Amino acid sequence: MLCRLGGRWLRPLPALQLRARDPALAPVPTSGAKRPTLSVWAVAPVCAVHANGWYEALAASSPVRVAEEVLLGVQATTGLPWWGSILLSTVALRGAVTLPLAAYQHYILAKVENLQPEIKAIARHLNQEVVVRANQLGWSERVARLTYLKNMKRIISELYVRDNCHPFKATVLVWIQLPMWIFMSFALRNLSTGAAHSEAGFSVQEQLATGGILWFPDLTAPDSTWILPISVGVINLLIVEISALQKIGISRLQTYATYFVRATSVLMIPVAATVPSSIVLYWLCSSFMGLSQNLLLRSPGFRQLCRIPSTKSDSETPYKDIFAAFNTKFISRK
C-alpha cells in the first residue's frame, strides 16, 4: 500500500522495521531476556508527582480557589493596597466566622463546668450503691469498678443530652478555624507566586510585589528582617500563656498539649521567615485577632451579651487577674 507525502508516493516500512527503528514498539522480551529499564526522563516525573501531589492538589483545590476569590474581591471592592486588603479580609473572616464560634465554645464549656457539682454528687452516690451491691452479690473489685464506670459514663451522657452541652460541640471552632487558616495561606501563596487559578494571576503577583508597607514593601518576598516572623511567634506564645494561666488543676495530657503548642509557636518563626510576606502578614493579623478574641471573651459584659452562663471560675476583674498571674509567673519569680 502506497501513501502520498510531499508529492511523492512512498511505501510504508514493514512492521518489523518499525519495531526495529522505534524501541517503544519493540516486542516485549520473553522469559530469560532482560527487560529494558525506564529512562530517567520517564521516572523523574512520576517521583515528582508522588512527592508533591498532595501539596499541589491542596493548592489547586476548590476551597483554596474560593479563598483566592475572596481576597481578590475584597481588594477590587475596597481599592486598598494589598497589605490593607489582607488585613481587612482577616479581620472580617475572624469577626464573622471564628468569633461567634468561639463564643459558642465558651457557652458549651460554661455549661459543662456548671454540671460538675451535680456529676460529683452523682458519682459519690453511685459509688456507695456499687459498694453495697458488690458486698451483696460478692463482686470482685474489678467487676465493681467496671460496673461503676459503665453506669457513670451512661449518666454523664444523659446529663450532656439533657443540657445540650456535649463537650465535642466545643471543638467546632477548631474544625472550622484550622481549615480556613490553611486555605487562606495557600491562596496567598498562589497569588504571591503567580500560581493563582485566576485570569489575573500574574498581574496580582506584580501588584503584591509593590503592595507592602514599611519594611516589607514586597509581599511576594520573605521578610529579611524577621520582624514579622518573630511577631507571629510572640503573639502565639502570649495566647498559649494566657490560656495556661487561667487553668487550675490541669491534667498531665493538658500539660503536654501546652508544651506542644509552645514548641509549635517557636518553630513557626523560622518557617515564617521562608515564605512570602503576604502569608506571614495574614498569620500575624490572624494571631492578633485570636489574642484579642481570647481577651474579649473574658470580659463579663461581653459574656453576658453572648448569654454565656456564669460559672464559679468567672472573675469580675479578669484582666487584672491575668496581669497579676503573668507578673507572678514570669516577672516577680526569683
Cell readout for 295 is 481577651
For each of the chain's 334 residues, which pLDDT tens digit applies? 444 444 444 444 444 343 434 444 444 444 444 433 433 333 334 344 444 678 778 877 888 899 999 999 898 899 899 999 999 999 999 999 999 999 999 999 999 999 999 999 999 999 999 999 988 888 888 999 999 999 999 999 999 999 998 989 988 988 999 999 999 999 999 888 876 655 554 578 888 888 888 888 889 899 889 999 999 999 999 888 888 776 655 667 777 888 888 888 899 899 999 999 999 999 999 999 999 998 999 899 999 999 999 888 888 888 888 888 777 776 766 5
How does DSSP classify residue 37?
Answer: P
Render the burial of 62-82: b for 16+ CB within 10 Å, e for the rest: eebbebbebbbebbeeeebbb
CA angle 72, 78, 80 (to 5 degrees): 85
What pLDDT shows up at residue 38?
34
Task: Give the chain's count of helices (H) and strands (E).
Answer: 13, 2
Phi, psi of 94 (to 5 degrees): -65, -40
Q: What value does the CA radius of gyration of the chain take, rounded to a whole number of Å?
A: 31
C-alpha cell at 289: 485577632
φ/ψ of 251, rounded to 5, equals -80, 170
E-strand ranges in the chain read 3-5, 8-10
pLDDT of residue 257: 81
